[in-house]
Amino acid sequence: MRWQLPAPRCLFFALSKFLHHLMAHYIDYHDHLSVLHVAPTQPPGQRQMQQIAHIYIDGRFVAPHGTELFDLHDPTTGDVFGQVRLGDVHDARAAIAAAKRAFPAWSRSSKADRIDLLRRLHQAMDARKDALRDAIILEYGAPIARATWMAGHAASSFLDAAHALQGFDLTQPIGTAEVIMEPVGVVGLITPWNSNAGFICNKLAYALAAGCTAVIKPSEMSAAQTHVVLEALHAAGAPAGLFNIVNGRGDVVGAEITENPDIAKISFTGSTAVGKAIVRAAADTLKRVTLELGGKSPTIILDDADFAKAMPIALEAGFANSGQACVAGTRILIPASRFDEAIAAVRNALKTIVAGNPRDPATTIGPMVSQAQYDRVQRYIRLGIEAGATLVAGGEGHPDGLGGYFVKPTIFANVTNDMRISREEIFGPVLCLLTYEDEAEAISIANDTPYGLQAYVISASVDRAAAVAKRIEAGRVVINGAPHDPAAPFGGFKQSGIGRDYGVFGLQAYLEPKALLGAQSA
Ligand code: NAD
């Protein structure tokens, strides 16, 4: 078949259709503000329904081509508080095209220009962090202290990336070569619902620092948070097309981003099952991938530890983010010789674990994000009981006086590492206590898992804890409850992922080395 030039009449119709499409779908930012009602701080009775009707392409808020409406739920009650209109494959392609157009100029931008933009993005996010905190509480149900940290963390990602870029040589002499670190290209960034704003900002910050442009597919269940982030990022006045955000389903927008030949790299945070599907789909175009996946993290409490101090640290690690955390320390390993003492310390530490209204500062555990997540946690609690584990706290059903998607903070004792509750990621506040005879067995149980994201060691001796930490197969090992460090690499061994986020390692993940041989003068 011969390829023919389109007839002038067809060309005219195609052009007018295109213009019509543009006029129908592209709207002013001011129009966008007037149609949107975001009122996350109002009490439920007086709340207006939120309608999130726009995505962000080429520096503008646009109505998506996709028409599907997706309900947004308040997890404390289960009520619908709004709807998001989802994008489709056309929207994903438009976003990819915009990022591709913006790439040549941004990839050649100077370090100083990138750092300047990152600082502006930080300021813009910082100015909206209270609104983001409120959206996190409303849509995700994170307790206020956690939600406040999450909003601040999203904002500070941009400064962390600026700092990593500042100290990084984008041109390095290696052997006889001059090695230039070039941005990998247009990147696809896909985020989960349990830390949506944080991962949008973190991934975008390092991608921009490297000189990449981006298409972001946030979790469809986090549209209210995404919207606040988007308004802030827009306010920073970045060149059009540098970042584009398309709300949509994973198997529609996510799949298009994963397969599209104009995307050079995927940075994905989410479940191990979807991570594997992404690797398969990305193989045809040999995309680079960074995957931050699930975990079943061990907390080893060594036999010299003071349990009165150790157990609150262990429970905090296990119940972090209401248990909906990839890094949650859900397998607590205790010395068999001190079992009774450990149970008493658990009961004592549980006094500070409070499930309740996320807006109450005393609350440490909020609801699960969705009915599906509530059902999943209930299923695992039943599995634990059926397997013969002993309930120390919690169990099936809602906590007293709470409805919505709240579950009871649950701890099982007498768990063996072959039980499903000890092997599979539950993603809720359900912890397992396992006993060990000696240090070697503790390390062996800790490593007996397909995952390797994070681990925790608690001991009276930092040196002893560090020696044990070195023998654990995990991307991060936290000693005695040390705080998160945004400069340290973060990512998983084994089926917890590929590659690293954060700091210099996170920056390098968006760079491709190019060796110029013969370029260096003698
Ligand atoms: P998920 O894998 O179901 O979804 C994550 C994202 O992928 C969503 O935006 C979803 O729409 C998208 N997606 C789904 N199918 C897709 C496909 N075929 N192609 C492309 N994209 C697709 O995960 P979730 O339920 O949103 O989040 C919980 C999971 O995330 C847990 O397993 C948790 O451990 C993991 N997680 C890992 C980290 C980490 O840093 N390692 C951090 C947070 C969460």
The residue with tokens 């804890």 is 465
Tell how far the Cα of 497 is from the centroid of ligand 1, in angstroms.
12
Q: 95 CB under 6 A from ligand 1? A: no
Taking Cα atoms as reference points, which of 366, 365, 303 lies closest to residue 338? 303
Q: 323 CB under 6 A from ligand 1? A: no
Q: What is the pLDDT of residue 103?
A: 99
Catalytic residue among 256, 326, 425, 432: 326
Q: So where are the chain's domains?
A: 14-30+93-293+500-512, 298-491
- Please give the CATH number for the structural domain made up of 298-491: 3.40.309.10
The residue with tokens 């584009």 is 244
Q: 453 CB under 6 A from ligand 1? A: yes
Alpha-carbon gap, residue 465 to 482, rounded angstroms: 12
- Ligand 1: residue whose CA is nearest its atom 20: 254
292 is catalytic: yes
Catalytic residue among 256, 292, 425, 432: 292
Q: 499 CB under 6 A from ligand 1? A: no
Taking Cα atoms as reference points, which of 48, 72, 61, 46 lies closest to residue 136? 72
Q: What is the pLDDT of residue 444?
A: 98
DSSP letters for 413-469? ES--TTSHHHHS---SSEEEEEEESSHHHHHHHHH-SS--SEEEEE-S-HHHHHHHH
Q: 293 CB under 6 A from ligand 1? A: yes
Angle at 291 between CA 288 and CA 297, to 5 degrees: 155
Q: What is the pLDDT of residue 29?
A: 35
Q: Which of 190, 245, 289 to mutate to test the pocket of ligand 1 (most atoms within 8 A of CB)?
A: 190
Tell how far the Cα of 125 is from the centroid of ligand 1, in angstroms.
24
Q: Which helix (H) or strand (E) holds 519?
A: none
pTM of the model: 0.92
CATH of 14-30+93-293+500-512, one of 3.40.605.10, 3.30.360.10, 3.50.50.100, 3.30.70.1170: 3.40.605.10
CB contact at 8 A, 120 and 243: no
517 strand-pairing partners? 177
Count of CB atoms situated within 10 Å of the CB of 49: 11
Alpha-carbon gap, residue 203 to 351, rounded angstroms: 37
Taking Cα atoms as reference points, which of 321, 270, 324 lies closest to residue 149? 321
326 is catalytic: yes
Tell how far the Cα of 300 is from the centroid of ligand 1, in angstroms.
27
Instruction: Give me the residues of the chain with pLDDT under 70, please.
Output: 1-47, 520-522
Q: What is the pLDDT of residue 47?
A: 62
Tell how far the Cα of 349 is from the centroid of ligand 1, in angstroms.
31
Alpha-carbon gap, residue 155 to 162, rounded angstroms: 12
For 376-413, b where at least 16 C-beta lie within 10 A, e where not — what string?
A: bbbebbebbbebebebbbbeeebbeebebbbbbbbbbb
Q: Which of 88, 150, 246, 269 to mutate to test the pocket of ligand 1 (most atoms within 8 A of CB)?
A: 269
Q: Which atom of ligand 1 lies closest to the CA of 490?
A: 40
Tell how far the Cα of 271 is from the centroid of ligand 1, in angstroms.
4
The alpha helices in 263-321, defined as continuous H runs, are 272-283, 307-319
Q: 297 CB under 6 A from ligand 1? A: no
